[in-house]
Structure 1
Amino acid sequence: MPIPTNWQLEEQAGIVRLNDPDQKITIALLSVEEADLAKAIELGWQQADPSFTLTPDDSQEMPAPNGVEKALVAAYDTKNTAQTTIALAQLHEGMAYLMLVQGENTTIAKRQSQVGIIQSGFTILALNQTTLSADQRVDVGPELISELESFIQAEQAEYKIPGVSVAIVQDGQIVYSKGFGVRDVVSQAPMDADTQMMIGSTGKSLTTLLMATLVDQGKLDWDTPVVELLPNFKVKDPEITKQITVRHLVCACTGVPRRDYEMIFNAEDLDAQGIIASVADFEFFTDFGEAFQYSNQMVAIGGFAAAAASGGELTQLDQTFAQALTERVLKPMGMNSTTLDQAAVEASPNHALPHGLDLVNATYQTLPISMEFAIKGVAPAGATEWSTANDMGNYLITLLNHGITPSGQRLVSDENLAVLWEPQIAIDAKSSYGLGWMISDYHGLEFIAHGGTTFGFSSEFAFIPEANIGIVVLTNGQYANHIATSISDRYFELAFDQPSKAAETSAYTAQSIEQSLGEIAKNIVPELDLASVEPLLGSYTNAALGDVSLLLSGEELWLDIGAIQTQFKPVLNEQGQPDGYLSVTPPFTGIPFKTGVDANNQPTLTMDLGSETYLFTRKP
């Protein structure tokens, strides 16, 4: 079992205990000879903490790792909303292997990847591990395609995803590409492999590829301090500002937390310079290299640093980045349908519409394309890139050809392509983050991937270099990453004749999402009490998120943040008492707001996201 950086370990009486550096998370690891996992968990708590008397509030079987007979997760209601207590159990040959977790929610959110390192690294040594070699690969053929298409169609129907587009690359060729379903639920226009969809964070790797080409040309160095390229760049700590290099911007290893809502709420005011300025007050959750922390703002700044290195004016970094990416990366790879331009997408006869999930009706509804371009200030992080399965197939060919494009042109050196795939920080015990890529292994073979999600699209892009195969999956549905990933997983299972786990894993993820949304939805009050809402209407402000307005449209309550609007409905707590409001329409489905009053008896709104809490005060 790996020990995360700066965590403390103590072993006593067969129990291993780990504590985070702040002493706010305790994890106990032990084994109990008991085949009934629920009973084993109870026995485990008795050994680890004799004073523990809670019974599980919820227990759920989860997909078991290969060789494990059964796995169970149990959650407990501690009556303290700031605390989390869970138990994980795995059964192997009559022995239950347990992980018991207690901790503060905010600390768990900040150190989620380190908790993941412990969870994924808690290995049962008695298990037989499957190891594969590249020569065991099964080539794409009618039988494999038939199995894969049946799986795609079943997953799409089960989870009501409007459309899916897939491309598979093998030995330098796109050997399969096809669309399933529709481009949008209104027109019912069919999806195909040339339908444009957003790729989301999968586009981060295109940004780091652009950076690699500039390093090849001597215009950039991975260890160049960012302030040399972007003089206005700074974070809260002046010393850390000086230390941050180009590499740090795209490695997810600096300790900068994920603060997406700050870029979304301020989208109308954030261009490249605005994004650079926005991190000036960022504090770091963890030290450099201590924990995986995913920041869209930092990657975007990495893209703007590349734009500056390419010769762009500091006042035109948005345009320079788009131009540099198109001319230096996309066109050479033959990705002619890939664009960052809203007008080009809207003019295309073959583009999909984004679909968001409505919490009240549990159905997908179309969203305007303009909503997907609302956060264009972080374009280098994958916020505005539209592509197709076939275009992304050309990208896959280039990567698997070690930097040689489908037309035979050398785009990037093998050396700097390899730098992108070097692990920089552990995500968990079995995977790491490189420079815009997630690096793991597939039964002993190096496995490189990245997914993406936007307001109304989800994607997955994965390949195994040694086996010379890869797949891209694009979908036009919010919260559909488990579908895209399951399709990718199923392909690799078929490609190496492995037992099918993809459907089970996808079903578990979908069930967890549905259960979470269902728990929220059942507490929604259908009718709005206009009398109680009237005093709340008006404009509010928050130092980090800017100005918002709470307004009535007919008998519906809406929050307007400028580029995006979302409907709110009142919710009840477990005791049936009013407990604030919840966003029920995409793209912000499921965000809670609590109401209150300040010292001047003016109404306030509080948005609590776990790791961050934002208080909005009434504007004069």
Structure 2
Amino acid sequence: MRIAALCAALMISVVAAAQKPVSQKTINEFDSYVSKAMKEWDVPGLSIVVVKDGKILLKKGYGVRELGRQGAVDTQTLFSCASTTKAMTALVLGTLVDEGKLNWDDPVNKYIPELRLRDPYVTRELRVRDLLLHNTGVAGTDYFWDIADFTWEEMIQKLVHVEPSYSFRAGFEYQNTMYMIAGVVIERITGKKWNDVMTERLFKPLGMTSTVPDRVLTNSPNITKPHFAINGEIKIIGYDKSTRIGAAGGVWSNVDDMSKWILALLDSGKYEGGRLVKAASFRELFKPQTIAPHNDYPTFSILKPHWVTYGLGWYQIDYRGRMVNFHTGSLAGLTAIAGLLQDDRFGVYIFGNYDHAEVRHALMYKAFDHFVLGNDRDWNAEFKTLYTSLKQEHEKRVREFENDRVASTKTTLPLAEFEGEYVNEVYGITKVTVVGNSLRFDVNNGFLVAELPHWHYDTFYGAAGDHYKLSATFIVGVNGKVEKLNFDGLEFGKSQVTAKPSP
């Protein structure tokens, strides 16, 4: 009896310690850390929510929505959730599992019979679960929206032509298109648009009244602009063109609403008035499902996790004896990160409006340490050093490429010989025309247009859009005619137009 009583007392003391209120001083210290770190990374605007034991410790906006303007970021400012949307899509699939309308291991062809992959075996064996795990073997297909505005129907039709990068379930390569297909599964089962299902089954129950499944569905003026460093200067850029893959990264929200999402995730999917999914489905979301690479995030080189896995929309690592479920979100000029220490009922969500501003990682781990684990490590300083080094390495590679230019060379053929249509059954059509001493590349009827000057030999290189550079190299065959175009790593074959016979 004494031992039982002692154990009970110890358990009570442990729970009491875990639920000990966080002091305002502790919160203020973290608030100051956020402000300082944000400035060191030159992030124009950021918002954050920190949750512990069912209570919001900090929910705040920092900086501005748009550089050079007065509009301050607040807790209602809309940002892109980007790939943190994936966890939401997975949970909504879980609601269909609960209703008996779906099994995680149902064949995808049961719902999308028109889907065909390169390997007929993979087509037949592909399960709904596989759509969420980045392990199908299908190489990355982000060019579907980087260089085109393909519909989801067109993307599905093109997948049969995509070469696998590894055997089915034998590796890990990030695959947004598979999440898009998961959204189609939701639509086929419910008979409703993914946008509407997300709103009905997730946003409305949680009271996420400002959250939208697509940026174009909001008319709020309180919305951030994306930012990018161009020639050493931070500038506003246009919004990303990725609305076709909403289930992979389409949601826009603010920290007022995301606090409700994090609170539910820290309470097994429960919310005031019910629960989003049954306990079994909730556990399935966070069960390690596949091994993920140790080099997916540069931060792992410092964190040195013993294992890295992927659940249903969540990366998972060990950190100081805890299991961390987290996911980043990145679109051009916009960032997000969600991090959970579920055993400690602690979570953090961070938005940013500066391209790949990795202060998000620093703030997440600092929050874990500051509010839960008691470590005083300066993650901001360590990650800033890491990413500064990586940036310098990238800039060095660009300089080396540009320094390797062979001056005073000419193209193999007159510029007019490079004109024409270049076709790829996956990527679409690139039309090439001469503009002065440059070539104009029109990819998929104006979706991406770049006018590139001659670089050397049969390569053209220069600025494209407002924040990146592209190269295009032509391959001339043994017959002395242009056969192929390598456009920023994507290969197109020149269309050979057969002359009409004379009447």
User: Is the aligned partner of 1:351 residue 2:220?
Assistant: no
User: Is the aligned partner of 1:310 residue 2:190?
Assistant: yes
Q: 1:558 to 1:171 in 2, by over 3 A?
A: farther
Residue in structure 1 matched with residue 101 of structure 2 by the alignment? 219
Instruction: Render the CA deviation track for 1:467-487: whole Å, top value 9, x for unaligned.
Output: 01111111112222x221111
Residue in structure 2 matched with residue 367 of structure 1 by the alignment? 237
Distance 1:443 1:502 in 2: 14
Q: 1:143 to 1:569 in 2, by over 3 A?
A: farther
Q: Which runs of 5+ in 1 are unaligned?
A: 1-132, 313-319
Q: 1:582 to 1:542 in 2, by over 3 A?
A: farther
Q: 1:235 to 1:189 in 2, by over 3 A?
A: same
Residue in structure 2 matched with residue 606 of structure 1 by the alignment? 486
Q: Could you say what secondary structure the match of 2:69 adopts?
A: coil
Written as runs of structure 1 = structure 2, the 5 A alignment for 1:458-477 is 458-477=335-354
Q: Could you say what secondary structure the match of 1:439 adopts?
A: strand
User: Is the aligned partner of 1:490 residue 2:366?
Assistant: yes
Written as runs of structure 1 = structure 2, the 5 A alignment for 1:437-476 is 437-476=314-353
Which of these residues, 398, 401, 404, is aligned with residue 270 of structure 2?
404
How far has the Cα of 1:179 moved from its partner? 1.2
TM-score, length of structure 2 as denominator length: 0.83
Instruction: Render the CA deviation track for 1:289-328: whole Å, top value 9, x for unaligned.
Output: 322222111111011112211234xxxxxxx111111111
Query: One-letter code of the match for 1:511?
Result: S
Distance 2:435 2:261 in 1: 46
How far has the Cα of 1:583 moved from its partner? 4.5
Q: 1:156 to 1:549 in 2, by over 3 A?
A: farther
User: Is the aligned partner of 1:273 residue 2:153?
Assistant: yes
Distance 2:458 2:482 in 1: 19
* Residue pair 1:195, 1:351 contacting (<8 A) in 2 also: yes
Distance 2:437 2:351 in 1: 37
Residue in structure 2 matched with residue 515 of structure 1 by the alignment? 393
Q: Which runs of 5+ in 2 are unaligned?
A: 1-13, 295-305, 498-503
Distance 2:482 2:388 in 1: 41
Q: Could you say what secondary structure the match of 1:499 adopts?
A: coil
* Residue pair 2:452, 2:460 contacting (<8 A) in 1 also: no
User: Is the aligned partner of 1:394 residue 2:394?
Assistant: no
* Residue pair 1:236, 1:280 contacting (<8 A) in 2 also: yes
Which of these residues, 85, 91, 96, is aligned with residue 209 of structure 1?
91
Query: One-letter code of the match for 1:386?
Result: W
Q: 1:404 to 1:542 in 2, by over 3 A?
A: same
User: Is the aligned partner of 1:244 residue 2:126?
Assistant: yes
Residue in structure 2 matched with residue 322 of structure 1 by the alignment? 195
Distance 1:277 1:266 in 2: 14
Distance 2:140 2:426 in 1: 14
Distance 2:454 2:421 in 1: 19
Q: 1:159 to 1:245 in 2, by over 3 A?
A: same
Q: Could you say what secondary structure the match of 2:56 adopts?
A: strand
Distance 1:380 1:163 in 2: 25
Q: 1:534 to 1:600 in 2, by over 3 A?
A: closer
Written as runs of structure 1 = structure 2, the 5 A alignment for 1:426-445 is 426-427=291-292, 428=294, 429-445=306-322
Which of these residues, 247, 261, 271, is aligned with residue 380 of structure 1?
247
Q: How many equivalent residue pairs?
A: 461
Q: Could you say what secondary structure the match of 1:332 adopts?
A: helix
User: Is the aligned partner of 1:500 residue 2:377?
Assistant: yes
Bigger drift between 531-540 and 439-448 goes to 531-540
Q: Could you say what secondary structure the match of 1:164 adopts?
A: strand
Q: 1:540 to 1:493 in 2, by over 3 A?
A: same
Bigger drift between 285-294 and 471-480 goes to 285-294
Distance 1:158 1:552 in 2: 45
Instruction: Render the CA deviation track for 1:253-294: whole Å, top value 9, x for unaligned.
Output: 222222212342232xx2232232222223332233322222
User: Is the aligned partner of 1:157 residue 2:39?
Assistant: yes
What percentage of aligned pairs have identical amino acids? 26
Query: One-letter code of the match for 2:394?
Result: S
How far has the Cα of 1:423 moved from its partner? 0.9
Distance 2:248 2:217 in 1: 20
Which of these residues, 253, 264, 283, is aligned with residue 163 of structure 2?
283
* Residue pair 2:62, 2:74 contacting (<8 A) in 1 also: yes
Written as runs of structure 1 = structure 2, the 5 A alignment for 1:85-124 is none
Residue in structure 2 matched with residue 301 of structure 1 by the alignment? 181
Distance 1:365 1:161 in 2: 11
Instruction: Render the CA deviation track for 1:495-547: whole Å, top value 9, x for unaligned.
Output: 22213141212321232124313541575599x99997954566533332112
Q: 1:343 to 1:240 in 2, by over 3 A?
A: closer
Residue in structure 2 matched with residue 71 of structure 1 by the alignment? none
* Residue pair 1:566, 1:586 contacting (<8 A) in 2 also: no
Q: 1:571 to 1:179 in 2, by over 3 A?
A: farther
Distance 1:497 1:570 in 2: 57
User: Is the aligned partner of 1:172 residue 2:50?
Assistant: no
Instruction: Render the CA deviation track for 1:398-438: whole Å, top value 9, x for unaligned.
Output: 11111112x33211111101101111111135110111111
Residue in structure 1 matched with residue 66 of structure 2 by the alignment? 184
Q: What is the RMSD of the two structures over their aligned residues, measured on CA atoms?
A: 3.1
Query: One-letter code of the match for 1:467?
Result: D
Distance 2:69 2:438 in 1: 27
